[in-house]
Amino acid sequence: MRTTKTGKTHRWFAGVAAALSLAIGSSVCFASPRELKEVDAAIRARGGRWLASETSVSRLPAGARKMRLGLLKRAATDAAPETQGAAPGPTLLAPASFDWRNHNGVSYVTPVRNQGSCGSCWAFATTAALEANLILTTGAGGNLAEQILVSCSGAGSCNGGYIDQASNFIRDTGLPGEVAYPYTATDGACASAIAGWQAAAAGITSWHYVGGTSRPTAAQLKEELFTYGPLVTTMSVYSDFYYYAGGVYQYASGTLQGGHAILLVGYDDVQQCFIAKNSWGGGWGESGYFKIGYSELGSAVGFGRYSQAYYTDTAAPSLTVRTPNGGESWDRGTTRAIQWAYTGKPASTVSVELYDGGLFAGTIASGLPIGSGGVGSYSWGVPADQPAGALYTVRVATSDEAFVDTSDGPFAITVPVPPSVTLATPNGGEVWTRGTQRRIAWDSTGNPGAYLKIELLDGGAPVSTLTTKARRAAGYWTWKIPARLAPGGRYTIRVTSTASPAYRDTSDAPFTLQ
């Protein structure tokens, strides 16, 4: 009995010790002082601005570390991703620094989560973006169910997933609160979610890739972050990143571990860095966040690639023609901007038609993107053979004709007047006194250019250039006649367009300086 008890005691202690080793003692078993020293040395050698230390993730075995990732990237041969849905584009000037965790004293970011040993970063990043979007649009926030994405969306699993498919699911179906399916860090089964969770799901109106490309610039990321709120973004993780403990991360050393999705929440131009929310728990990095240099957009890390902005429409849809809206006069053969405004999401495309006296006169363009930032436009090359008239209007309509608007009043299409410049004064016979002021005047038609060059000639030979900045539209330029000019009776003036030297004129006959 004693031997048996001792054996049981030993087995019990060994089991507890093993559990403790996995729970809190992994640093003893799996810490890599050599790797940490290599990372630290590489940071110093590169003049890095971040601190490397043992972390809750660096202490894990290699396989468990990689389970903290999970982004499945688009194939390198894929075409540039297209915008998904229509939303206003960035129209505001982003400040020098910004952080959605503290904007006017309010945090629009939910607490840091921990994905655990499940390659579900893609689910956590997209869920975090939706949570922030809901706070921005409704003022209400809370944790949503990442497990719904893992188990129900078809966008991925604990072996990795795709942020575009997850975002489509959020747009089309939405996510309920976490109570509907608490996170298990396993693939789980969709049937395990609370029945009817779809009725309580919240989503977005649309999403799009930042800049419409797979490699946005720092300026694009900052503008769209400031305009839309926290962004889903991605990066390639190298082994040195596991040791991040603070500062501005820049790749220093280590091997590629895999793709990772995170939430971009801020930036700081002074430190030249972005601020991102990770899904490795609050004990990693800077309380679960990290700073990363702007330089990493172009490094092997590829931070910011395939960044996504979420948009939720809260305005009633409408469509309004802005230009031409009545009273304009457009020359045929010129290019003019037809503009319209919209609110909400009336459609993704519109058509533009021309009417003359209320009668259909032709389709100018169809299938045009509705625009961004609440404004759309189309550069119309007015046909050179378009009949002149003063009763034209433009009609802009959605493809389903649900939203239509026409110019409030008619505009004119005119035959362009040929450009010309004609000198009026001095034009021959004048007698001007040196040391006085006189006006050199001209007439012009059309648009020969904004500025004129004025020259003084003597017997047809140039004497001096009086100015190259005479405003053509003013019709005159005041000449202070130098007293030192030689007197004579063979002087003339020549005016020439600085935009097109073909438009010029000279005094018909000489004038006299006395």
**Residues noted as catalytic:** 121, 260, 278
Q: Take residue 197 and report the two structure tokens written for it.
A: 């969770």
Instruction: Provide the edge-to-edge strand list for the sheet that holds 476-480.
Output: 420-425, 437-445, 476-480
**Non-local CB neighbours of 153 within 8 Å, separated by 6+ positions:** 123, 165, 166, 169, 173
Under a CB-based contact definition with an 8 Å cutoff, are residues 257 and 66 in contact? yes
Q: Tell me the one-letter amino acid at 171.
A: R
Rounded Cα gap, residues 281 and 286, in angstroms:
10
* Phi and psi, residue 241, nearest 5°: -65, -30
Rounded Cα gap, residues 99 and 264, in angstroms:
9
* Phi and psi, residue 175, nearest 5°: -130, 140
Rounded Cα gap, residues 437 and 478, in angstroms:
7
Per-residue burial over 174-184, b if 16 or more Cβ lie within 10 Å, else e, is bbbebebbebe
The label of the residue with tokens 């004990």 reads 283
Rounded Cα gap, residues 463 and 510, in angstroms:
14
Rounded Cα gap, residues 493 and 423, in angstroms:
8
The label of the residue with tokens 């020439």 reads 496
Rounded Cα gap, residues 54 and 48, in angstroms:
17
Rounded Cα gap, residues 309 and 227, in angstroms:
9
* Phi and psi, residue 97, nearest 5°: -150, 150
Rounded Cα gap, residues 210 and 207, in angstroms:
9
Peptide bond into 426 cis (omega under 30): yes
The label of the residue with tokens 């790749």 reads 251
Query: Can you spell out the DSSP letters for 282-351?
Result: TTSTBTTEEEEEGGGGSSTT-TTTT-EEEE---S--EEEEEES-SS-EEETTSEEEEEEEEES-S-SEEE
Q: How far apart are the first and last CA of the chain?
A: 137
**Non-local CB neighbours of 79 within 8 Å, separated by 6+ positions:** none
Q: Is 161 helix (H, G, I), strand (E, B) or coil?
A: strand
